[in-house]
Structure 1
């Protein structure tokens, strides 16, 4: 049930237009930021230096900021941590009351302040100066106290806030957020951070499911339906029925996968005498297979790529020997499908 507006309140008939204006102003800020990154003598050059500094430290990136910049700093710290850059957030006010002890000699400090005159950042900046730790300042004022005392000033374009009074941090915080994402992605790339490593830090939820590998969900050992090329089809059917994966792998003398028989192959072979027909007469000698370290989502793509989708894939090692079987139902249960 919709609650009626109080009689003293006028219905916001132009709210949609106001929202579009807000988004366009913030978009202009992002466009200005993108152009600034392309300037090797300005923000682009400073950004490259920041990446170099952070790749060279032995400790963590200590991210800090207060107010709206503090909320942005917390998000950036979380993104850094989840993409392979050890980091932590330190609240500037708490730093003055003991939390400076969290900052270690091998750390670097990444401080966010739109004005660069945030009083609460003073003790953290002074600590960095005393210890010689790198202090990277992200601000819109190149002449601010924070920028001039920092090891490296990363000056964002000064753009109007989307707030009609020009006061509430809107455009500026969005630009800070985009800057932090750009920094995290740059560090990720230069570290060679992989999807598998990303999965280690994201084991839960749908994202974790997308980062599962085939090895995580495959059937192994005695659960694999296997037989030899000379096996009579009646025994092949027994093996397929017993293992209940809808297929049987045909293994050669050297243990390599020589072929595959699916329940579909059985239906197509009903005109054969199954008491005398051998597995090698029915098998598909070129079955689809997959690597154990492939993502489970990749296995699903392989299954769906054929005009006639398959429901099982044999997993092979480097010698083309079967070490597992992954079934469509396993992927669905794991949340991949």
Structure 2
């Protein structure tokens, strides 16, 4: 016996609607991807060769997409910004210089507000890239390069709300940004420099030297110090550890809170009479001051430790940090 279709308002019916949207939009993306060709390459070349910026514009939903494309381009090495076409006609055209490339979005290719700008842009000498769903539209015909983002169907069952078409335009914008990123040799460090306030910026820009304790704040004792003397140093510096160094400040070992617990379990150990060199960890994990702070977090996680001594190329102790320093710096 056949199963009756789910009621549109029932949970199963809602899930069916959601899955259908993904299927329709996936088909739309596949159709647009198949049209990535010489026009796409030409659009990339115009953006790479411009002496100015990429000015993105569009009305309505196309405007929202254009704004997002501008933001993605700007954060991946291609200077770009968004201009509202309606505002452009009332003075904001002055933001566009003759060195800029204009990326205009309109699925119909007939948006009056966008078409109104074309004579001025042409007269100024701007190169125009159009992104439309109609290769025969006015905007497509006037453009130096046309990117066809037409889709087989909108996901909206009424074929009214832009759905598949805006997804396809967003994906085309991402494709442009990534192609330009790779062509420019844009790196993770470059990305971090334009995102200094974000989590990624902190992960990629913050170095050990920025978060470590240095100078007299670094806990350290000599190898002939007693365990009790090491504990005094650990308590004073409050990092849960102390470096053990020689007369040239080179690292010999490390003594931590964990080592102390193990020491206290051994009834034979005299805290006042036993030298720290007898109970220290002799090959502790270390890190350099020029390393990224995120590398310290990875090292601590991999080896289940909560602190690191920072050394130079000759293993001289120059700093120390623990997991709390990384937490305060919001690296982890």
The bucket for the TM-score relative to the shorter chain is: 0.7 to 0.9
User: Partner of 1:165: helix, strand, or coil?
Assistant: coil
Contact 1:95 1:123 in 2 (8 A): no
Q: Residue 72 in 1 paired to residue 65 in 2? A: yes
Q: How does 1:236-247 map to 2 (within 5 A)?
A: 236-247=230-241
Counting matched residue pairs gives 320
Q: Residue 100 in 1 paired to residue 97 in 2? A: no
Alpha-carbon distance in 1 for matches of 2:116, 2:246: 71
| Cα distance change of structure 1 residues 45 and 11 upon mapping to structure 2, 3 Å threshold | closer
TM-score by length of 1: 0.82
Alpha-carbon distance in 1 for matches of 2:250, 2:43: 51
Deviates more, 1:95-104 or 1:179-188: 179-188
- The root-mean-square deviation of aligned C-alpha atoms, in Å, is 2.8
Counterpart for residue 4 of structure 2:
none
Q: Residue 164 in 1 paired to residue 161 in 2? A: no
| Cα distance change of structure 1 residues 311 and 138 upon mapping to structure 2, 3 Å threshold | same
Alpha-carbon distance in 1 for matches of 2:132, 2:73: 19
User: Partner of 1:12: helix, strand, or coil?
Assistant: coil
User: Partner of 2:34: helix, strand, or coil?
Assistant: helix
Match of 1:264 among 228, 242, 258: 258
Q: Displacement of 1:102 after TM fit?
A: 0.5
| Cα distance change of structure 1 residues 334 and 164 upon mapping to structure 2, 3 Å threshold | same
Alpha-carbon distance in 2 for matches of 1:242, 1:213: 27
User: Partner of 2:37: helix, strand, or coil?
Assistant: helix
Counterpart for residue 35 of structure 1:
34
Contact 2:151 2:168 in 1 (8 A): no
Contact 1:109 1:133 in 2 (8 A): yes
Unmatched segments (≥5 aa) in structure 1: 1-9, 37-42
Alpha-carbon distance in 2 for matches of 1:322, 1:107: 53
Q: Displacement of 1:56 after TM fit?
A: 2.8
| Cα distance change of structure 1 residues 210 and 53 upon mapping to structure 2, 3 Å threshold | same
Counterpart for residue 283 of structure 2:
286
Alpha-carbon distance in 2 for matches of 1:300, 1:25: 43
Alpha-carbon distance in 1 for matches of 2:127, 2:316: 52
Contact 1:159 1:172 in 2 (8 A): no
Q: Displacement of 1:170 after TM fit?
A: 0.7
Contact 1:125 1:150 in 2 (8 A): no
| Cα distance change of structure 1 residues 138 and 17 upon mapping to structure 2, 3 Å threshold | same
Contact 1:117 1:146 in 2 (8 A): yes
Unmatched segments (≥5 aa) in structure 2: 1-6
Alpha-carbon distance in 2 for matches of 1:236, 1:262: 10
